[in-house]
Amino acid sequence: AQSVTQLGSHVSVSEGALVLLRCNYSSSVPPYLFWYVQYPNQGLQLLLKYTTGATLVKGINGFEAEFKKSETSFHLTKPSAHMSDAAEYFCAVRGGGNKLVFGAGTILRVKS
Amino acid sequence: GAVVSQHPSRVICKSGTSVKIECRSLDFQATTMFWYRQFPKKSLMLMATSNEGSKATYEQGVEKDKFLINHASLTLSTLTVTSAHPEDSSFYICSARSPGGQETQYFGPGTRLLVL
């Protein structure tokens, strides 16, 4: 079975600082991994995904994530936080039946 | 591309009534759509998988008679909350799986249901 653990339910950074949101996964098959962002009262927007190939994946809004099989991790980073990045971020792994298994989410707060 | 819409965005209803939520893939055909429920400050809980032309597959613990799902076409799935009660109040989000084997789900904007 697949599972996702997001370390830190809340992360606070200053504007311009590095953003690091942690995600570890468990999967019995080669994983497909996703990061989604959710703004208040909205649905989820795909930030980036890893399926196969290059382990460093670039997404929208300057975010990127690196798949590290040895660490079973898929951490999300952004070099310089912007106020508009404040939102909730979900890491997900594809499970059986092509279902997505989500982590609990991390709320990112950006301080001015 | 890959836009998914939901209607309505917000609905308030009286206890005992039924509410229908529509999920549409606007620019692609989706043989599979998913319905999620999100409680305040919680992650998404998969309710059911909706397959075009066949019965939906419900997750364990989800009442299929209460949450009726119909996937009548390749671009439309509906979720009907029957005889709604206050405990059904929640944020309901649908997603549609992209074609072509990439297995990416694209999410609708969600529907906020409040049952009085």
DSSP string of B60-97, one letter each residue: TT--TTTEEEEEEETTEEEEEE-S--GGG-EEEEEEEE
B101 confidence band (pLDDT: 50, 70, 90): low
> What's chain A's average pLDDT?
93
Residues from chain A contacting residue B42 (CB–CB below 8 Å):
104-105
Query: Cα–Cα distance between A41 and B97 in angstroms, integer?
Result: 22
Instruction: Give the single-character DSSP code of B29.
Output: -
Instruction: Please write down the long-range contacts of B84-89, taking CB distance under 8 Å and 24 or more positions apart.
Output: B84/B13, B84/B15, B84/B16, B84/B17, B84/B18, B84/B19, B84/B113, B84/B115, B85/B15, B85/B16, B85/B115, B86/B15, B86/B115, B86/B116, B87/B115, B88/B113, B88/B115, B89/B113, B89/B114, B89/B115
The pLDDT profile of chain A, 112 residues, written as one tens digit per residue, is: 889 999 999 999 999 999 999 999 998 888 999 999 999 878 899 999 999 889 999 999 999 999 999 999 999 999 999 999 999 999 999 887 778 899 999 999 999 9
Residue A85's contacts (CB-CB under 8 Å, 6 or more residues apart) are: A19, A61, A78, A108, A110
Alpha carbon of B82: minimum distance to chain A alpha carbons (Å): 23
B1 confidence band (pLDDT: 50, 70, 90): low
- Mean pLDDT along residues B5-28: 95
| Cβ distance of B107 and A32 shorter than 8 Å | no
A66, burial (CB in 10 Å: exposed 0-12, middle 13-18, buried 19+):
middle
Residue type, A102: F
A70, burial (CB in 10 Å: exposed 0-12, middle 13-18, buried 19+):
exposed
Q: Give the phi and the psi of residue B96 in degrees, each rounded to 5.
A: -125, 135
Q: What would the pLDDT profile of B22-70 be if each residue is shown by its tens digit?
A: 999 998 888 899 999 998 777 889 999 998 888 899 999 999 999 999 9
Adjacent-strand bridge partners of B34: B49, B95
| Beta strands B10-13; B111-115: pairing state | parallel
Residue of A5, A42, A89 to mutate when probing chain B, most B C-beta within 10 A: A42
Adjacent-strand bridge partners of A67: A74
Residues from chain B contacting residue A97 (CB–CB below 8 Å):
49, 57
Query: Cα–Cα distance between A28 and B86 in angstroms, integer?
Result: 39
Query: Cα–Cα distance between B47 and B49 in angstroms, integer?
Result: 7
Alpha carbon of B17: minimum distance to chain A alpha carbons (Å): 24
The pLDDT value given to residue B25: 93
> What's chain B's average pLDDT?
91
